[in-house]
């Protein structure tokens, strides 16, 4: 279980200046390491990384990279997913306390008990889950392909969907299936992106577009609310990271409201400096993501910490559920 976000004290004391960036790059070269940074990382971490993207895109890069060490600047389940897909590589996360309240919403024991209550049901898990939960899962999904993944099961087969209740409600509505059971999990950042706030922001900015990046649980409530008609449908763009950056370059809107974790604004502003990008809620910041500080990254590269381990048997079963997802359709995402 992750430490509650309010009790976390990030490792500090290092300024991300040019000398820091140089040392990071030199240490990464010495270690034969590739630096991967999730979109919700601090700007300095994004800027020093080799690749910036969502969790799945980064895990794929981890699997295909020539580097023998992966330094995953993100939260723990993401680094675990990289290890699942690249078991022969050393995977480091700069601070192993960087958990995820959504991934912690369900444990493998809880999922096993739920399966016993519904024998014969298929299990679909959002990628924001631990390796142990993925190992108990038939098919993983992202928000982009969750509807397709659930629809791939025969209509009369029960489906257990976990851990995100907003994404589960969205899937239930889109598939029209009554036999989808949804786990009541959520991300703590959700609370910052609620219906009235989203509607008020959209009403106050009638010419603005609304971008929703669904690859992290913090935006799944916005995804659900957009489907409920809380904001005009034609203004809503549900986009992967790369889609969001491309749309930003093409948009004729002067203002774009972004319903996701605030770290995403950094990449969007870099891509389209003349467009005003505003967070739907500027308090929608994940404290787990911000555990990866300049000091933590420096320590990781100097000391080779914190190494991520996944039990080989768990990794084999977890990998199968991720690979089935990839076979079913476009998982979405990308840099």
Per CB under 6 A, residues contacting ligand SF4 are 75, 100-102, 128, 187-189, 216-218, 261, 286, 288-289
Distance CA 87, CA 310 (A): 8
Start-end of H helices in 49-164:
55-64, 76-85, 108-117, 131-135, 146-151
Give whichever of 73 and 100 is closer to ligand SF4, judged by the CB atom.
Answer: 100
Q: State in angstroms the smallest separation of the CB of 78 from ligand SF4.
A: 8
Could you tell me the smallest distance in angstroms from the CB atom of residue 189 to ligand SF4?
4
Q: Report in angstroms how near the CB of residue 89 gets to ligand SF4 at its nearest.
A: 22
Q: For residue 163, is the peptide bond before it cis, meaning its omega torsion is within 30 degrees of 0?
A: yes
Q: E strands of the chain, at which residues?
A: 33-38, 51-53, 69-73, 90-92, 122-126, 139-141, 159-162, 180-182, 209-212, 236-238, 255-259, 276-279
Nearer of residues 101 and 125 to ligand SF4, judged by Cβ: 101
Q: Is the peptide bond before 333 cis (omega within 30 degrees of 0)?
A: no
CB of 81 to ligand SF4, least distance (A): 12
Query: What is the CB neighbour count within 10 angstroms for residue 93?
Result: 27
Q: 106 or 272, CB closer to ligand SF4?
A: 106
* Shortest spacing between CB 258 and ligand SF4, in angstroms: 14
Q: Which residue has the tokens 């895109």?
A: 57
């Amino acid at each position: 279980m992750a430490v509650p976000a309010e009790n976390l004290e990030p490792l500090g004391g290092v300024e991300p200046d040019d000398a820091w960036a140089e040392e990071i790059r030199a240490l990464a070269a010495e270690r034969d390491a590739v630096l991967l940074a999730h979109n919700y990382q601090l700007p300095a971490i994004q800027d020093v990384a080799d690749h910036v993207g969502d969790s799945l895109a980064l895990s794929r890069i981890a699997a295909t990279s020539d580097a023998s060490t992966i330094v995953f600047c993100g939260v723990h389940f993401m680094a675990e997913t990289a290890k699942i897909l690249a078991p022969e590589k050393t995977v480091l996360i700069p601070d192993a306390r960087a958990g995820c309240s959504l991934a912690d919403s369900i444990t493998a024991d809880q999922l096993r008990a739920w399966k016993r209550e519904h024998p014969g049901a298929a299990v679909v898990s959002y990628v924001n889950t631990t390796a142990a939960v993925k190992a108990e899962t038939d098919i993983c999904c992202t928000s982009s392909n969750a509807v397709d993944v659930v629809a791939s099961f025969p209509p009369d087969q029960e489906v257990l969907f976990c851990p995100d209740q907003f994404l589960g409600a969205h899937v239930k509505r889109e598939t029209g299936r009554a036999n989808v059971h949804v786990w009541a999990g959520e991300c703590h950042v959700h609370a910052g992106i609620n219906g009235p706030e989203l509607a008020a922001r959209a009403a106050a900015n009638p010419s603005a577009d609304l971008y929703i990046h669904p690859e992290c649980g913090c935006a799944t409530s916005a995804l659900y609310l957009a489907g409920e008609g809380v904001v005009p449908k034609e203004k809503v763009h549900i986009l992967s990271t790369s889609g969001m950056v491309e749309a930003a370059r093409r948009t004729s809107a002067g203002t774009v409201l972004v319903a996701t974790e605030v770290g995403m604004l950094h990449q969007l502003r870099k891509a389209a400096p003349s467009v005003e990008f505003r967070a739907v809620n500027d308090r929608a910041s994940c404290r787990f993501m911000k555990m990866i500080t300049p000091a933590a990254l420096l320590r990781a590269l100097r000391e080779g910490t914190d190494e991520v381990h996944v039990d080989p048997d768990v990794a084999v079963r977890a990998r199968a559920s991720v690979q089935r997802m990839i076979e079913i359709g476009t998982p979405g995402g990308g840099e």
